[in-house]
Structures are given as structure tokens and as C-alpha cells.
């Protein structure tokens, strides 16, 4: 599955999750869920707007969608959805967690109206410039955490609970250069 297809699937799943069941009937065979929270930090600081998708390790994969999105305090109450039915909580079991966060727009992004006014040649030039600028935006989520196949985060849920994930624990020097160390010397 390509990264774009995966991101589309995550976005669709999250849109279902946020419906919270709005009066829809519980599907037959929908599992019992327990309250579960995931907190995402970045070097100990809360990371907001992180999409969390939990992929079950069992044969029922795909029967329902499990995930959430962090708030300003880095906290996400996990929800489970099937069709149009959604409820806060997660079925007991083992999961692989993957995370994503929308990158900010590059500084030179133009409005849709401005883009429509561009010639084809200008659009090609603009697309190249945007690609280069996006490559310079540092990743917030380490790439290893963006797919269930590569994510080392395994969560076993057997009761109400909480998991804390700190992104700094999954950084590679290549993706995330170390912060600059500045020393001030007195004269």
C-alpha cells in the first residue's frame, strides 16, 4: 500500500471515529470495548494533532477501525468504528500503533485562486519549488512510526488503560538532526 493510499485510509477511518455513533445501531458482532488513552509527547512536551491508528494483530483485521487524534495536551481517547457506528474505547487484544501528522504548508504556498491563474509552465515550476520546500520541512513523526508494518510500537490492551509514546525515543539522527547547543561565555 502506498503512503498516499495509507494516509487516505487513515483519514477516512478518523472521519468515522469522530461520528461517535450519532444514533446509529450497534453492528452485530461489534466487540466489547474498554476505555483507553494514548498520550503522544515529543521530548516530554505534548504533541497535538497526531493521528493514531491501531492495527489489530488478529484475523479480524479490517472488521473495525481503531484510532484517535491527540488534543493540545497530547492526549487521545481511542475510539472504535464499524460502518457508521463509533464508540469511545478499544477491543481487548494486541495492536500495532502507527502515527501521522499533517506537515505544515511550505512558506511559498499560493492560494487555489492564484494557482488557477498560473500558466502550465508556471504550475510546473511552482510544483518543483513546493516539492523542494516540503523536503526541507523536518518530519515531526519519525517515518518508522507511520506504517503498521514498520512501527515498533506494540500495545496489548486487556483492561482500561493508557500508553505514553515519546517521539524522541524513535528518532534517527538522519531524520532529526540534534538541536544546536549554544554556549554563552562571559567576557
Q: In this predicted model, what pLDDT tens digit does every residue of 50-79 receive, in sequence order?
A: 999 998 876 555 678 899 999 999 999 999
Domains and CATH numbers, the chain: 3-103+140-170 (2.60.40.10), 105-138 (no CATH)
Say how many residues make up the chain. Answer: 187
Beta bridge partners of 75: 39
Identify the segments of the chain with pLDDT beneath 70: 1-23, 58-62, 173-187
The C-alpha atoms of residue 94 and residue 112 are separated, in whole angstroms, by 43
Supply the pTM of this predicted model: 0.68
CB-CB neighbours of 149 under 10 Å: 10
What DSSP line would sit under 109-128, residue for residue?
A: PPPHHHHHHS-HHHHHHHHH
For Cα atoms 57, 155, 24, give the angle at the middle one, nearest 5 degrees.
70
Tell me how far CA of residue 24 lies from CA of 19, 21, 29, 45, 81, in angstroms: 10, 5, 15, 37, 11
In 3D space, the residue among 136, 128, 56 whose CA is nearest the CA of residue 95 turns out to be 56
Amino acid at each position: 500500500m502506498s503512503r498516499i493510499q495509507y494516509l487516505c485510509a487513515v483519514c477516512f477511518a478518523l472521519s468515522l471515529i469522530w461520528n461517535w455513533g450519532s444514533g446509529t445501531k450497534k453492528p452485530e458482532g461489534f466487540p466489547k470495548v474498554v476505555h483507553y488513552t494514548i498520550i503522544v509527547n515529543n521530548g516530554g512536551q505534548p504533541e497535538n494533532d497526531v493521528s493514531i491508528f491501531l492495527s489489530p494483530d488478529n484475523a479480524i483485521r479490517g472488521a473495525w477501525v481503531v484510532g484517535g487524534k491527540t488534543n493540545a495536551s497530547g492526549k487521545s481517547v481511542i475510539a472504535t468504528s464499524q460502518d457508521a457506528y463509533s464508540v469511545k474505547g478499544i477491543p481487548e487484544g494486541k495492536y500495532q500503533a502507527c502515527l501521522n501528522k499533517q506537515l505544515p504548508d511550505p512558506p511559498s504556498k499560493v492560494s487555489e485562486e492564484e494557482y488557477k491563474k498560473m500558466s502550465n509552465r508556471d504550475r510546473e515550476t511552482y510544483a518543483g519549488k513546493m516539492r523542494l520546500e516540503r523536503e526541507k520541512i523536518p518530519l515531526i513523526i519519525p517515518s518508522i512510526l507511520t506504517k503498521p508494518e514498520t512501527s515498533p510500537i506494540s500495545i496489548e490492551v486487556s483492561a482500561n488503560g493508557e500508553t505514553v509514546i515519546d517521539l524522541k525515543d524513535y528518532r534517527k539522527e538522519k531524520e532529526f538532526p540534534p538541536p544546536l547547543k549554544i554556549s554563552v561565555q562571559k567576557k
